[in-house]
Structures are given as structure tokens and as C-alpha cells.
Amino acid sequence: MISEHFPALIVVTPLILSFVVFAVGLFDRRYCFPLVIIALGACIHFAVSMMKKVIAQGSAIHYYLGAWAPPWGIEYVVDHLNALVLVSIAVISFLVAIYSNSNVKRELPEAKLPQFYTLFLLQVTGLFGITITGDAFNLYVLLEIASFSAYAIIAMGENGAQFAAFRYMIFGTIGACAYLLGVGYLYIITGSLNMADLSKLLPPLYHSKVLIAGFSFLLVGIGIKMALFPVHTWLPDSYTLAPSSVSALLAPLFTKVGAYVLIRVMFTIFDPSFSVTIFPVTEILGWVGATGIIFASILALAQTDLKRMLCYLIVVEIGFIVIGIASANRFGLTGAIFHIINDMFMMACLFTAAGAIFSQIGTRNIYQFRILHKTMPITMAVFIIGALSVIGVPPMCGFFSKWYLILGVIQAKKWVYLAVILIGSLLNAILFFRVLENAYFETRNNIENTLNNKGVTVTLDRIPKGELIPMMCFAVIIILLGIFSGKIINNIIQFAIPGALQG
């Protein structure tokens, strides 16, 4: 049966198609886009059917590449935690691919299309691979595939993007090398690279200094890749200057997949007791996340460029996820996992809307937004749904994950984190109202002009339907995730919490 091979196919399909797209693009560029859609559509099918299977059988799918049993071979594992992340990656990359079809033609020269789609698919390959792999070294390789395509695809952007990509590359390489060193330390002490095998071999060694050094290297490496607060400096420049559809792909997915890897390392490879009591990194991570929320919110308030503001918002949201992980109990981790999923869709929604605004009015400066609700009502509606979700207004999904995060910090009795989460949400509200105020209201001069002209007539957005529909899909998904949050948590996320943290 082919369905047994879905775990491998979800990585292999975009990988092979990425080269096919390039080869086909040499002859006829029109065929690139349909091929990308076919590849990503197939990935949605693989991801959804794997998630259904995991829910039905209630345990993880183990796939041995080349039928080599672990710990010798590479193992792909789909459990409740990453099944959900895989589906989200597949859906977002599919919708962003549709969005990019017309968007990228405006921002990039026609001749760059095959390269763009090749890198797009390689990026998705890397992200799927990071999520699905059950092998610590394989994760490094796929992390680098995702990072390389990110460096190259960001460098396609406007003036300055190449320099930003080079800086990102320096940071990213330090992160990847730190991760590799950490894996090396674990390998020295256990002689294994398989995550499930490592989790069995490590507990007797928990007081070893080698292990503590290795764990610290792993955390630093992942921290850089997921743009944790003090090492986030590569993110705003590179994501702002990248083409709109590239930042719509990278911003939702890359950092959140990093957060997923953090959960994997802290709670699957290591037992939760290690990072809570033996080597209390949760304490450090919590404070790092809390400072990150406050500082990144203030930095975001200082920005006038919409996309750069949203980039700092990514850092804020990573802070929320890290606080959830750091509270290390059932509610906190539920909130963190749910926030990973929600934040993917929220960021996809906001970045696609920001790209649409940029392509219609030609500027990203917030203070030049005027009466956008009349010239592009659909985009602004989508933007508001994303914004309300980030602020945490029910029934958008952002409310429910923040609710669980707050329950988690209350259970952990970390009152400072509670204050930070609430203040952070308020700062988010200020952040978005600053945008909406400029977009919805007019300056005094304009009002007089408008009165003389008997009002501006409402026109529909002048952007192609191919861009509007994915944006609206993201907005609908945000509301649906909120409405069905109980079902998602009871059927999937609940089983993704490690046994030691239950109860």
C-alpha cells in the first residue's frame, strides 16, 4: 500500500518536484506554478491522511527509511504533536503558493520564476523534514536545507536584502553549528542519534557535565533558529526586505518549526524532569521569553514600516510560546503547542495582507495608510481578523491559546509571567490600533476634502482574486481554529503532552 510510505513521500515529493520545476522552467515558465500546486496539494493529502491515521490508531506512525530499523537507520515518526504541525505547514505553504502566483510576478523579474519556485519547494521540503524526522542528525541536515533555501530566497528581495541574507547566514550558521555540536556531545556519551533511542539511553547520565554542555548547545542553536529574543537580530531585516510572498511563507513557518524542535528536544529527547529540576533551563527560558515579549513589543511600537513591525511581532509571539514551554505543565504546554499552530495562521494572514497593501498602495509606511477600508475593504477585514487574533479576542484562535498559556503560568505560580502575558497582549492591541487608526481615519485636511467631494465611494480591492482568496482562507481558518479549539485540544494536542507532565 502506498499510504504506508506517506511519511517519506511528504518530504520526497516537494524535493523531487523542486528540481523538476527548475528543469521545466528552462523550457516554459508557465508550467512551474501548476507543478508547485500539484506537489503541495499532494503534501496536504499526505499530511491529512497521516493525521487521521494517528488519531484513529492513537499511537505514532514509525517509518524506517530503506527498511533499516532504528537506531541504525533513519526513522521518521509522526505522532500527535507533529501531525498537527505537518498539516499546518502543508496548508499554509499551499495557500501561500497560490498567493505567490500573481504577487511574485509584480515583485520579481519573470526570468527568476523557476528559481523562485525551486527554492520555495526546497524550503517546504526542509520544513516538512525537520518536523517529521525522528533522528537528531537528520534534523540538522534538513534544518540546513530549509535555511539555505531561506538565505537564497530572501536575497531575491529589494535593495539591501542580499546584505540582510548574508547577516542571516552568519547567524544561522552559528545556530546550526551549535546544534550540530550539541548532537555531537549526545553522540559521544550515548553512541546513538535516534531520538527515541536517545530518550531511553540518556536518563542514567542526567548528571553528566557532557550532557549539560550538549543540552546547552542544542538550546542555543535552536534559539537562534527560532529567533528567541536576544538572538533575534537577524530576523527583522531579512524578513522585511524579502519579497512579500517569501515573507508570507517564511514568517509563519520557519520560527514556529524551530519552536516545535525546542519542544521535541526538551520533552522528547530529554525527560521533562531534566530541564525542570536537574538543569533548570525552564527558569532561564521563561525569563528570556518574558523579556522578549516586552522588549520586542516596544521595538515594534517604534517601527513605521508595517512589515518590520510584524517581524518584531513574530519575536513577541515566540516569547509567548517559550513562556508556555517554560511553565512546563499540562496547560502551559497545551497553550504553547496550540499557539504554534495559531501563530502560523495568524502570521500567514497578517503577512499576506501586508503584501497586498504594499502592492496596492506602493508603500509600507503606516503613516501613509489612508482610508484603506474604502479602497481595499476585504484586505483590511482580513487584516483585522488577524490583528484581533494576535491581540486575543474571542472567538479568534489567539484567545484560546493565550487562555491556556495563562492557565499554565497560574498553575506554575509564575505571577510575573502572567503580568507579562497580559501586558504583552495590551501592547499588541496598541500596536494594531496604531495601524488601524491610520488606515481607517483621515487627517483633518482629508476630511474637508472628502466633505467637499461628498464622500469617497467604496471600491473593491484592486488586487487579483488569486491573492484575495488565500487571504480570506487564512482569516476563515483563524476563526474555525478558535471555534473548534476544544475539539483540536481534546483529540490531538492532549495526547502530544509527555506523560510526565500530565495531571
Partner 1 sequence: MEIMVGKFNYWIYIILIMVGFYGMMAKNNLMKKLIGMNIFQWSIILYYISIGAKKGGTVPIIMDTHSAAGQAIRAIDYINPLPHVLMLTAIVVGVATTGIALALLIIIYKKYGTLEEDEIIEALKK
Of 17, 84, 165, 427, the residue at the interface with partner 1 (CB under 8 A) is 165
Of 27, 56, 159, 487, the residue at the interface with partner 1 (CB under 8 A) is 159
- Taking CA atoms, 293 is separated from 76, 230, 240, 289, 392, in Å, by 34, 11, 20, 6, 15
- 22 near partner 1 (CB under 8 A): no
Cα-atom radius of gyration of the chain, to the nearest Å?
Answer: 22
Closest CB to partner 1 among residues 140, 274: 140
Closest CB to partner 1 among residues 169, 387: 169
- 188 near partner 1 (CB under 8 A): yes
Closest CB to partner 1 among residues 24, 122: 122
Of 31, 64, 148, 495, the residue at the interface with partner 1 (CB under 8 A) is 148
In angstroms, rounded to a whole number, what is the distance separating the alpha carbons of residues 424 and 317? 9
- Smallest gap from Cβ 186 to partner 1, in A, equals 12
- Contact at 8 Å (CB) between 398 and 389? yes
Candidate segments 16-24, 146-154, 246-254, 450-458, binder of partner 1 by CB under 8 A: 146-154
- 205 near partner 1 (CB under 8 A): no
Closest CB to partner 1 among residues 155, 356: 155
Secondary structure (3-state) at 194: strand
Closest CB to partner 1 among residues 144, 442: 144
Candidate segments 164-172, 268-276, 311-319, 484-492, binder of partner 1 by CB under 8 A: 164-172
- Smallest gap from Cβ 178 to partner 1, in A, equals 9
Closest CB to partner 1 among residues 177, 371: 177
Q: Where does residue 460 fall: left (phi above 0), alpha (psi -120 to 50 degrees), or beta otherwise?
A: beta
Closest CB to partner 1 among residues 107, 343: 107
Strand partners, 365: 305
- 216 near partner 1 (CB under 8 A): no
SS3 track for 59-88: CCEEEEHHHCCCCCCCEEEECHHHHHHHHH
C-alpha cell recorded at residue 472: 480570506
In angstroms, rounded to a whole number, what is the distance separating the alpha carbons of residues 42 and 427? 40
Of 12, 105, 106, 144, the residue at the interface with partner 1 (CB under 8 A) is 144
- Contact at 8 Å (CB) between 8 and 63? yes
- Taking CA atoms, 239 is separated from 158, 354, 388, 471, in Å, by 11, 12, 22, 19
C-alpha cell recorded at residue 483: 471555534
- 16 near partner 1 (CB under 8 A): no
- 160 near partner 1 (CB under 8 A): yes
- 184 near partner 1 (CB under 8 A): yes
CA contacts within 13 A on the Cβ side of 46: 27
Of 22, 137, 279, 295, the residue at the interface with partner 1 (CB under 8 A) is 137
Of 180, 471, 492, 493, the residue at the interface with partner 1 (CB under 8 A) is 180
Q: Quote the distance between the C-alpha of residue 408 and its chain's center.
A: 22
In 243-311, beta strands by DSSP E: none
Candidate segments 183-191, 218-226, 254-262, 410-418, binder of partner 1 by CB under 8 A: 183-191
Site residue total, partner 1 (CB under 8 A): 26
- Smallest gap from Cβ 160 to partner 1, in A, equals 5
Residue 331 makes CB contacts below 8 A (sequence gap 6+) with: 404, 405, 407, 408, 411
Kindly list the residues in this chain that would bind partner 1 in the complex (CB under 8 A): 137, 140-141, 144, 148, 151-152, 155, 159-160, 162-163, 165-166, 169-170, 173-174, 176-177, 180-181, 184, 187-188, 193
